[in-house]
């Protein structure tokens, strides 16, 4: 044997010995769920407000990459999208952190310094060899996930949308208002084959009893100067509507809840990664379904419906040309409710993954404009989802039948995601 070959074999042997003795196969105490929770919070803090309805796309990409990176090492579940070769002694924590960093640097390049610092702090707590091995895995997974989503249509411009001013069809709530995020329906979903797979039930006919009942309900409870709405209902409308309180979007609310319960239920790293990925995908695809459906049905908002009730051919409704809602009307058609869909999707995932809906927790909103912080207790995930849904009636921006349509559709979407993605490996073997 030549001296060169003998030297090469000795080098390989040295690496193998280093792998066995310098890097234990079992995870260290650093390999816990906090890395998932930390990067979820980092995204929430740095995501630009201009992301709007595309905010959940950021969460979905982040948490798919973190899950697939960690799972490439731990192999407890089927991959979501990517599985790369990995030394089982590598740090799943480092893999998840590196994947998160690389994804967010691309999605939110303006905050790169923040992401670089967070990654270095995390890797510094992990054995250097295990950190390097895990980081290499995270880099590969992040690149593959970003490549997968690079052509999903999220970069396309908005599409003009303005139906004719016929009874029942959406019209701008205020002059010069433009329909927003119409292009959302043309973006590739993360799990569903199409955003209309679970198209919600159509709204009732304008001359129906159900329509009249729900119009009169929102007319009474949702008006700016309502005498029927209680103080607590007004608070609920403002909390979920972002009127004087943060967060102003429902996505952070549910990610706050998920972080809290991941800690309280002592989830492992891979369990937390899976929870956040399932929730992120379900919220994104649920929201895309509800928002796409708005342009399928094109229903007018309560503000237009109440002011033009003389045109709806329904004897049980009466026009009020001066009627105004408690909170501003969003700039797109009414049916169904986006916020209800987000809550229904998120609450369903949490209940499915944690094997219970009845888990007590609290939600805190930060007051703005002189308002004090508000903390509210909840006994179940569905209670929070139901309260968020009703907030849209109290705020005067949705009919009750739209809440029901969203809830039924978006629970099915969450079930679709949980039933088909990231299943336990042992479940697949004994199926």
pLDDT score for 159: 94
Assess contact for 403 and 392: CB atoms under 8 A.
Answer: yes
Q: How far apart are the C-alpha atoms of 102 and 139, rounded to whole Å? A: 7
Q: How far apart are the C-alpha atoms of 185 and 205, rounded to whole Å? A: 25
Phi, psi of 361 (to 5 degrees): -160, 175
DSSP 44-81: HHHS-GGGGGGHHHHHHHHHHHHHHHHHHHH--B--SS
Phi, psi of 325 (to 5 degrees): -80, 165
Dig out the tokens for 242 from the structure.
Answer: 């972002």
Give the start-end residues of each E strand in 335-402.
361-367, 374-378
Q: 363 by DSSP, 3-state: which?
A: strand
pLDDT score for 181: 94
Q: Which of 237, 249, 219 is nearest to 394 (CA)?
A: 237
pLDDT score for 343: 98
pLDDT score for 31: 61
N-term to C-term CA, the chain? 51
Dig out the tokens for 312 from the structure.
Answer: 């709806």
DSSP letter (8 states) at residue 362: E
Q: How far apart are the C-alpha atoms of 241 and 235, rounded to whole Å? A: 10
H or E element in which residue 385 lies: helix 381-394
Q: Which of 292, 300, 373, 383 is nearest to 338 (CA)?
A: 292
Domains of the chain: 24-149 (no CATH), 182-429 (1.10.606.20)
Exposed, middle or buried by CB within 10 Å (0-12, 13-18, 19+), for 199?
middle
Model pLDDT for residues 142-165, shown as the tens digit of each residue: 999 999 999 999 999 999 999 999
Dig out the tokens for 422 from the structure.
Answer: 């990231």
HSE-CB at 309 with a 13 A cutoff on CA atoms is 23
Helical H segments across 298-380, by residue range: 302-307, 338-354
Q: How far apart are the C-alpha atoms of 148 and 101, rounded to whole Å? A: 17
Assess contact for 192 and 285: CB atoms under 8 A.
Answer: yes
| Positive/negative CA dihedral, 57, 60, 63, 67 | negative
Residue partners of 370: CB distance under 8 A and separation at least 6: none
Helical H segments across 222-312, by residue range: 231-241, 250-264, 269-297, 302-307
Residue partners of 330: CB distance under 8 A and separation at least 6: 180, 338, 397
pLDDT in tens, the chain (431 residues): 444 444 434 333 343 444 433 433 344 444 679 999 999 999 999 999 899 999 999 999 999 999 999 999 999 999 999 999 999 999 999 999 999 999 999 999 999 999 999 999 999 999 999 999 999 999 999 999 999 999 999 999 999 999 999 999 999 999 889 999 999 989 999 999 999 999 999 999 999 999 999 999 999 999 999 999 999 999 999 999 999 999 988 999 999 999 999 999 999 999 999 999 999 999 999 999 999 999 999 999 999 999 999 999 999 999 999 999 999 999 999 999 999 999 999 999 999 999 999 999 999 999 999 999 999 999 999 999 999 999 999 999 999 999 999 999 999 999 999 999 999 986 443 33
pLDDT score for 248: 84
pLDDT score for 266: 95
| Positive/negative CA dihedral, 183, 189, 194, 200 | negative
Q: Which residues pair with 293 in a beta bridge?
A: none
Dig out the tokens for 398 from the structure.
Answer: 């949705």
pLDDT score for 425: 87
Dig out the tokens for 244 from the structure.
Answer: 């004087």
Dig out the tokens for 233 from the structure.
Answer: 């209902």
Dig out the tokens for 182 from the structure.
Answer: 């119409």
Phi, psi of 334 (to 5 degrees): -85, -50
């Amino acid at each position: 044997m030549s001296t060169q070959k003998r030297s090469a074999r000795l080098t390989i042997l040295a690496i193998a010995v280093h792998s066995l003795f310098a890097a234990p196969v079992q995870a260290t105490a650093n390999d816990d769920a906090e890395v998932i929770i930390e990067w979820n919070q980092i995204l929430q803090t740095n995501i630009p407000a201009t992301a709007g309805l595309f905010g959940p796309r950021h969460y979905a990409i982040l948490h798919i990459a973190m899950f697939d990176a960690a799972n490439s090492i731990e192999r407890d579940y089927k991959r979501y999208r990517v599985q790369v070769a990995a030394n089982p002694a590598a740090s799943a924590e480092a893999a998840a952190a590196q994947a998160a960093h690389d994804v967010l640097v691309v999605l939110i390049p303006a905050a790169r310094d923040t992401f670089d610092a967070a990654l270095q702090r995390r890797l510094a707590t992990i054995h250097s060899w295990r950190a390097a091995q895990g980081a290499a895995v995270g880099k590969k997974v992040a690149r593959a996930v970003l490549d997968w989503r690079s052509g999903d249509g999220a970069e396309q411009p908005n599409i003009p949308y303005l139906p004719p001013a016929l009874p029942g069809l959406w019209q701008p709530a205020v002059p010069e208002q433009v329909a927003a995020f119409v292009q959302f329906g043309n973006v590739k979903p993360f799990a569903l084959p199409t955003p209309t797979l679970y198209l919600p039930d159509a709204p009732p006919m304008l001359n129906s009893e159900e329509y009249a009942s729900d119009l009169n309900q929102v007319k009474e409870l949702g008006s700016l100067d309502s005498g029927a709405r209680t103080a607590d209902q007004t608070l609920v409308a403002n909390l979920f509507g972002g009127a004087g309180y943060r967060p102003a979007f429902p996505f952070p609310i549910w990610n706050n809840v998920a972080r809290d319960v991941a800690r309280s239920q002592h989830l492992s790293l891979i369990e937390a990664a899976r929870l956040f990925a399932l929730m992120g995908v379900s919220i994104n695809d649920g929201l895309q379904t509800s928002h796409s459906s708005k342009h399928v049905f094109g229903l007018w908002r309560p503000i237009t419906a109440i002011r033009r009730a003389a045109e709806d051919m329904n004897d049980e409704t009466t026009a009020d040309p001066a009627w105004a809602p408690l909170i501003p009307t969003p700039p797109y058609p009414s049916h169904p409710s986006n916020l209800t869909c987000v809550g229904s999707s998120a609450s369903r995932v949490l209940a499915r993954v944690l094997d219970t809906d009845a888990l007590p927790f609290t939600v805190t909103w930060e007051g703005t404009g002189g308002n004090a912080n508000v903390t509210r207790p909840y006994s179940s995930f569905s209670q929070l989802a139901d309260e968020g849904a009703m907030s849209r009636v109290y705020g005067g921006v949705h009919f009750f039948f739209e809440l029901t349509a969203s809830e039924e559709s978006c629970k099915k979407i969450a079930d679709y995601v949980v039933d088909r993605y990231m299943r336990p490996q042992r479940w697949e073997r004994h199926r």
